[in-house]
Structure 1
Amino acid sequence: MSSPSDIYLPRTLPYPITIIDLHVRANDDVKRGGRLLSYSYRTSVPGVSTASTSTQTSYGTWDAPVDGKVTLWNISKGETLDKTRATARAAVVLEEPCKHGLQMGGLCAICGKDMTALDYTGYSDSARANIQMTHLAGGPTVSLEEARRLENETAERLLAGRRLSLIVDLDQTIVHATVDPTVGEWISQGAAWEAYQNEPPDKRGTPPSEPNANWDALRDVANFTLPHEGPGQHHHHREPPVMYYIKPRPGLMQFLDKISEKYEMHVYTMGTRAYAERVCAAIDPDGRLFGKRILSRDESGSLTAKSLQRLFPCDTSMVVIIDDRADVWDRSPNLVEVVRYDFFVGIGDINSTFLPPKADPLLRLPPDLPAIVRKPTGPQPVTVEDAKEELEDELLSRQAEALDAQVMERPLEKKQHELEEHEHEHKHTNGNGTVLIEHPKEEEKKTALLRNDDTELARLQHILSEVHERYFKLYDARRPTDDARRKIIPSIKAQTFAGMHFLFSSVIPLDVRPEESPIWRQAQEFGATCHSDVSPRLTHVITAKRSTAKVDAARRRGDAHIVWVQWFLDSTSVWHAQDVRPYLVDVEADHNYRSRRERKVSSASAPAEETRSTTPPPAEQEDEEAAMMNGGFDEEELGTVDVDWDAINAEVEAAMNETDDDGDEASGWGTPRSRTRSPRGVKRRERSVESDATTGSTRGKRSKLREEVTADDDDNPAEPPDTQEEDEEEEDEADGTEDGGEDWDEDFLAQELGVES
C-alpha cells in the first residue's frame, strides 16, 4: 500500500535560499508538520535616507506536508537554490504509507483515516483527492494521480475494442418530452379504438370515438409519473405527481444499436436524476446501452452549464458530445451540435426552461464572483454559496411554474384546434370568408399537428462514424497525438463551407467589428473565408435585406450567390452547405443560376466551387420551381383559370419595388422559400426555425405561400438594428436609390446562432 512520493519545495519561499541544515536523514520517519530543513535568505532593509537600502540575512524552515519515511534527498546542506532549480526537481522523496488517493464520506477508502482533520496550518488531507469521476453525487473522489490511472485503464479497454466515448444529451437530442395531458388523452383514444378493432365482430360493443389524427405519431410515446418539481421538493408533497410523455426520435433504437458498436455511451442531461433514470429505462430497459452511466443536473454541480471534465478530468481526446445546445458546453471542440428535435409543437425543452437564452448569459453565476457580495437592499453580506443557492431556487421555481402552466393551459390541444379551424376555413371558403360549399353530413378528415418525419439521426450517425473512422486511422498509423485527435471534429465541420468566400450585409450590428462578430467566427469555424467588402473572390453574399450597397454591388457583378441569412443558419445546423436556389434573394436569379455557375467553373482564376450544391434538383423540385415562375399554378390549372397576366405582372413589379416602409417584404428569416417548414395552417413562428432545418423548404404554389404570409401578418418582425450597411445605404438614398430591405430581428439571429449578437 505504501508508495514513494516526490515532494517539491513550495513556490512561495523567498528565493534564492541557502540550505542551512537537513533535519532528517534517509530512512527516518517524519510526521506531517515535522521539520525537514532550515534555510537562509537575504532581505532588503530601508536605510536612514529614502535613497539608501541595505540587506540582512533572515531564516526560515520547511515542514513535511505528509507522513512518510525519507527515501532520498535531492538537495544538500549549503546548496543555494533559485526558484527555477527548486521547481525543476523534487527536494525529497518520501515513502508514504498511504497517499489517500481514493476518498469517500470524509474517510480514506484505502486506509480509513479521517480526511477532515486539520493541522495547525488549516490543511486537511481531503484536498488531496477532490476530483469526482463517477456518475453519482455522493460517489468517491480521487486524486489527480488516481484519475490519470483510471483514465488510462479506460482508454486501454476502449482501444482494445476499437471504441470511443460518447456523451449523449436527452431532451431535444434523442427524445422530446412534454407534460401536456392532451397527449395522454390522444393515446387513450387511439388505444381504445385499436382494441375495439381487434375484437371479434360478434363481441364488439359500442364503438369508441375514432382516434385523434395524431395517434399514428404517438404509438411509441412512453409515459411515467414523477413528483412535482421545484425548489424544496419535500414541501410539495401535497401536489399531485406529474405525468411525463417521452417521444423517441425516429430511428432512435437503430441509431443507438449501431453507435454502441463504436462508442461507449454516457447520458448527461439537465433533467433531474429521477427523470434521467426513467427516460433511460424507457429507451434502454435492460441497461445494455447506457448501464449506470447517467449524469444529471443533481450530480453535475451546475444548472446552467455542462463540463466535460466532470467525467473526463484528464484526457478528453477520445470523447465526443452530441447535444442540441452548444452554449452549455461553451462551444467545446468535442461537440457535434444536433438539430433540435421539436416533435411536440411549441413545447421546447421542459428541462431547460431555467436556462438563459442562447444570446443572454446574464442569468449565469459569474465564475469570478467575489467571495462576498452585498444585496442592494440590505447591509448583510451574502457569500457566493448563498448567492448560488438563491439563484438555483429561483431557476427551479421558474421550471416548476413552466411545467404547471403546460399542464393547465394544454398548448397542444389549442394548436390542434387552431389547425383544424384553419383547414376547415381553407376547404370551405375562398379566403375572404365567402362559403364555397357545405357538406353538413360529411365527416372531414382531420389534419395531424404532430409529425413523425424527423431524419436527423441518420445525419448524426454518418458524422459519428466518420469521427470514429478518422480516429482509428490515426491510431493505426501510430500518430494519435492529442492535438491531432482533438482536431478531428473541427476538421469535419470545416468541410461545410470549404473553398467558399462570404460577405455579410445587414447582418452584423454597426457597433461590432466584423471580425469579432459571432456569425463571422462561426463562418470561419465551418471553413469559409470572410470578406469585409465586395471582391472578385466572393462566392456568397449573405444578407438580411434585399437591397444594400454591398448587395447591389454584388448583384451588378453577377458572380456571387446573393442569399438570405437563413441559408447560412440551415447549412451550419446540418454541417452541409444547402442548395442556394431556395434561398436566393432575387427570383430572376433562378434563370441565371446554371449559366453563372458555368462561367465560374470555366474561369481559371475563379475560386473553388461548392462541392455540396452541384447535384441537380429532382424532377419534382424542377416542376415546383417552374410552377413558381408561372404564378404558383401548374399547367393543368393554367388551362382552366382565366389569368389576367397584365395584373399579375404589375403586382410582381410593385412587390419588387416595395421599400421598408411598405412592411410587406418577407424577411430573410421568413421568406416563403426558407427551408424552415411549418405545420400546415399554423403560423410559422409557432415552430422553432432550427428544429426542421434539414427537412426541406416550403416551396410550393403561390396560393399556399399567400396563406402562410397572411398567417404571419400579425407577427411583423421588428425594425433592424444599426448595421454595417447604414452609412452606405444613406449614400444610396442621396443618389436617388432606396433600400428595399427586409426587417429582421437581431435577437432572433443571435438565438439561432447560439451566440450574443
Structure 2
Amino acid sequence: MADKSMPISVPSQKPLKLVKWKVKEGAFVSHGQILFLYSDSSGDSGEIKKYKVSRAGTIVSIKVREGDIADPGSCIADLEECRHPTVMKEMCAECGADLRAEEVQKHDVAVVPMVHSVPELKVSEELAQKLGREDADRLLKNRKLVLLVDLDQTLVHTTNDNIPPNLKGVLHFFLRGPGNQGRWCHTRLRPKTEEFLESASKNYELHVCTFGARQYAHAIAELLDPQKKYFSHRILSRDECFDARTKSANLKALFPCGDNMVCIIDDREDVWRHASNLIHVRPYSFFQSTGDINAPPPLPEEKPKLASGKNGSQLPISKQMPNLDAEPEKDSKDIKDKEQIDEKDKPVEGENGRIVSEKPEVIDDKSESEMDKSVEPPCVWVNTSDGQIEVEDADDYLIYLEDILKRIHKQFYDIYDSMGQHPIPDLKFIIPDVKSKVLGGSSLVFSGLVPTHQRLETSRAYQVAKSLGAEVTQDFTEKTTHLVAVRSGTAKVNASRKMGDGKGKVHVVTPDWLWSCAERWERVDERLYPLQRGGQRASAPCALQQPPAAPHAPTHPLRPVHGLAQPAAVLLKRRYR
C-alpha cells in the first residue's frame, strides 16, 4: 500500500517562529492533538499560539526545529495518515476515527475479521498477513497444527426432548433468548472425549467451528473445556459465519496466509464443500429421536441429508435452529420453580411441536413401538446404586480418530523436516495421501452394491474405495483381492468360491468391511465381516455405523445437574493465549 503522507503547514501571511514541539519524530498523533507552539516572528505580538493536527497519523519527519523561522505556507513536518489497520464496529481502534463519516477508499480500511467470536473486530489485509505469518511461525516452532473441531454429532449429541433428569452421563443446561421462553438442552459427551481432547491438544491448536448459535457454542465449550486449556476463546459459532450454509467461507479470514496447516473434523462433508483436508467423522447419536439440532439449511438444489444410523438406517434431523443470544442472569431456583408451575398448568410441549402427555410416568404406546423397530439391538438400561439410569454406549470412534490425527501430524513434520523447513507442506495433499495408504495394493469388485443403472465411477462405494487407495474393477482380474458383496448366491460370489485358497484367495466380505475401513483409516481384518449364506443388506455409503441410541424415557420435571451455563462473548486483548 502506498504511503499517504501530507505536509503540515500554518496558514499565515507572515513568517512564524516555532517555539516548542509537543511531539517527537515517529510519534503517533490523534485528531485534534497539539503538535507545536508558535508565535509571530516579527515580534509585534508576544502571543503563543497552538497548532492542532486535523488528521490522525504518524509524524514521519520534522522540517523546522525549535527556535527556527518558517516562511509563510512552508512545510513544517510530514504526517503519514492513519491506515486504520484495526477497526471495531466502523471505528478505528488506532486513531478513533468514525469511518462511516470519512471518505475512505475500501482498500485502506480493515476488512479481515480474524477473531472467532468478535466478527466486528477487523484488521487490514497487511496486518492480517503479518499476524498470519506470526501464527504459522509459532505453530511450527511448537511443532503443532490447527484442528477445527465440529461439536454436534462429532464430540457431543444434544437434544431438547424431555428425558429423565437422572440419566447418567447427560449434562443439562438452560438457554434463553429475547422473544422466546428458552429451552432446556441435554448433552451427552461422546465416550473418550476428554482423553481425545487432551491427546489432540499436544499436536494441534484446537478451534471450535459449529453451526450452533453463539450462546449454545460457548455453553458446550464450557462443558468440554471448563478450564479453557484446549479452546480458549477460539470459538466460531453460526452467528460469526459469513455463510449460513457453509463453514469454509471463514477460512480465508481466520487463516489469511493459507490453510496449509489446517485439519478439519466434522460429521458432515457438505458444509466444508468436501474439502480435501477434512476428516469425515462417524456421526455420534445417543438420543434416538434427535439428529443435529443445529443442522444448516440444505445447499441450493440439494436435498436435506439425514444422519445415517446403523446399517444405513436414517435418523430424523430436527430442523430447529435456535437463535439464542445472551440474557441477564437469573436465579436457577426461580427458573426451576417456574418450569414446575408451567408443567402443572399445561401439557409439556416437546421438540418439533410434539405434545408430551400431562402424566409423565406414562409412555406413549405408539412411540414405544416405533422405538422398538428403529433400535437394533435394544439399549440396555441399568439402574445404578445411586439411583441414576445408565445407558450402554459402545461408541469407540474417538480412539481411531486420535490415531488418525497422530499419523497426519507425523507425516506433516516428517515432510517439513526433509524439505529443510521450507516451504510449508500442505495438509490438503498430506491428508488424502495418508488415507490412500489404507487399502493400497488392494483390488476390489462389487456385487449388488451399485445399482445396475448407475455407472460404477459415480457410486459412493467406488469413491470411498478409491480414496482409501484401492483399485476398483467391474469384473474379476488377476489382481482382485476382495469381493464386496451384499448377498450370497450371485454369479460373482459363486465365481469367487471357485478361485481357491492360498495366496491368491479372494476375500468375500460385506459392505460393512469397506465402511469400517473408511471409518478407522486402517485395513480391518476381513474375518470380522464374512458374507453369510443369507447375505447382508447393503449399508449406507456414508460410511459409518453408529452405536444404539438411547431410547425415549418418561418425562420428568427437569433440573440442571451442573447449574446454568452462562457464556458471554468477551473481547480479548490478545488473539491467542
- TM-score normalised by the chain length of structure 2: 0.63
Supply the AA of the counterpart residue of 1:668: A
Counterparts of 2:350 and 2:259 in 1: how far apart (Å)?
A: 35
**Which of 68, 77, 89 is the aligned partner of 1:105?**
89
Largest Rg, 1 or 2: 1
1:157-556 alignment runs, 5 A limit: 157-184=138-165, 187=166, 215=167, 218=168, 220-227=169-176, 234-236=178-180, 239=181, 241-307=182-248, 308-352=251-295, 354-356=296-298, 361-362=302-303, 403-405=351-353, 408=356, 450-477=391-418, 478-483=420-425, 485-556=427-498
Task: Say if 1:580 and 1:99 are closer, same or farther in 2 by CA, change over 3 A.
Answer: same
**Which of 97, 103, 106 is the aligned partner of 1:125?**
106
Q: What are the Cα deviations for residues 326-374 of structure 1, in whole angstroms up to 9, with x where unaligned?
A: 221122222222222222234222222x5449x982469xxxxxxxxxx
Counterparts of 1:162 and 1:245 in 2: how far apart (Å)?
A: 37
Q: What are the Cα deviations for residues 149-198 of structure 1, in whole angstroms up to 9, with x where unaligned?
A: 111111122222222221111112111212222232xx1xxxxxxxxxxx
**1:668 and 2:531 equivalent?**
no
Counterparts of 2:319 and 2:394 in 1: how far apart (Å)?
A: 34
Counterparts of 1:332 and 1:131 in 2: how far apart (Å)?
A: 22
User: Residues 356 and 363 of structure 1 are in contact (CA less than 8 Å); yes or no, is this contact kept in structure 2?
Assistant: yes
Supply the AA of the counterpart residue of 2:128: A
Counterparts of 1:178 and 1:167 in 2: how far apart (Å)?
A: 23
SS in 2 for 1:183: coil
Task: Say if 1:261 and 1:152 are closer, same or farther in 2 by CA, change over 3 A.
Answer: same
Task: Say if 1:414 and 1:289 are closer, same or farther in 2 by CA, change over 3 A.
Answer: farther
Q: Shift in Å at residue 414 of structure 1? A: 6.3
Q: Shift in Å at residue 407 of structure 1? A: 7.5
User: Residues 103 and 140 of structure 1 are in contact (CA less than 8 Å); yes or no, is this contact kept in structure 2?
Assistant: yes
**1:141 and 2:141 equivalent?**
no
Task: Say if 1:341 and 1:676 are closer, same or farther in 2 by CA, change over 3 A.
Answer: closer
User: Residues 173 and 185 of structure 2 are in contact (CA less than 8 Å); yes or no, is this contact kept in structure 1?
Assistant: yes
Q: Which residue in the other structure is 2:36 paired with?
A: none
User: Residues 168 and 268 of structure 1 are in contact (CA less than 8 Å); yes or no, is this contact kept in structure 2?
Assistant: yes
Task: Say if 1:286 and 1:397 are closer, same or farther in 2 by CA, change over 3 A.
Answer: closer
Counterparts of 1:505 and 1:468 in 2: how far apart (Å)?
A: 37
Supply the AA of the counterpart residue of 1:107: M
User: Residues 179 and 406 of structure 1 are in contact (CA less than 8 Å); yes or no, is this contact kept in structure 2?
Assistant: no
User: Residues 201 and 230 of structure 2 are in contact (CA less than 8 Å); yes or no, is this contact kept in structure 1?
Assistant: yes
- Which stretch shows the higher mean deviation, 521-530 or 338-347? 338-347
Counterparts of 2:129 and 2:350 in 1: how far apart (Å)?
A: 42
Q: What are the Cα deviations for residues 41-75 of structure 1, in whole angstroms up to 9, with x where unaligned?
A: xxxxxxxxxxxxxxxxxxxxxxxxxx99xxxxxxx
Q: What are the Cα deviations for residues 551-605 of structure 1, in whole angstroms up to 9, with x where unaligned?
A: 4444443532232222212221221222223433354xxxxxxxxxxxxxxxxxx
Task: Say if 1:406 and 1:274 are closer, same or farther in 2 by CA, change over 3 A.
Answer: farther
Task: Say if 1:256 and 1:356 are closer, same or farther in 2 by CA, change over 3 A.
Answer: same
Counterparts of 2:222 and 2:143 in 1: how far apart (Å)?
A: 27
Q: Shift in Å at residue 482 of structure 1? A: 4.2
Supply the AA of the counterpart residue of 1:224: F
More helix by share: 1
Higher relative contact order by CA 8 Å / sep ≥ 6: 1 or 2? 2
Task: Say if 1:675 and 1:234 are closer, same or farther in 2 by CA, change over 3 A.
Answer: closer
- TM-score normalised by the chain length of structure 1: 0.49
Task: Say if 1:533 and 1:144 are closer, same or farther in 2 by CA, change over 3 A.
Answer: farther
Counterparts of 2:411 and 2:528 in 1: how far apart (Å)?
A: 33
RMSD: 4.3
Q: Which runs of 5+ in 2 are unaligned?
A: 5-56, 59-78, 306-317, 325-348, 378-382, 553-577
User: Residues 129 and 144 of structure 1 are in contact (CA less than 8 Å); yes or no, is this contact kept in structure 2?
Assistant: yes
Supply the AA of the counterpart residue of 1:361: E
Q: What are the Cα deviations for residues 685-723 of structure 1, in whole angstroms up to 9, with x where unaligned?
A: xxxxxxxxxxxxxxxxxxxxxxxxxxxxxxxxxxxxxxx
Counterparts of 1:412 and 1:538 in 2: how far apart (Å)?
A: 57
Q: Which runs of 5+ in 1 are unaligned?
A: 6-66, 69-94, 188-214, 228-232, 365-393, 427-442, 588-655, 657-664, 683-757
Q: Which residue in the other structure is 2:74 paired with?
A: none
SS in 2 for 1:182: coil
User: Residues 118 and 124 of structure 1 are in contact (CA less than 8 Å); yes or no, is this contact kept in structure 2?
Assistant: no
Supply the AA of the counterpart residue of 1:261: K
Q: Shift in Å at residue 484 of structure 1? A: 5.0
The percentage of counterpart residues that share the same residue type is 31
Q: What are the Cα deviations for residues 371-393 of structure 1, in whole angstroms up to 9, with x where unaligned?
A: xxxxxxxxxxxxxxxxxxxxxxx
SS in 1 for 2:449: coil
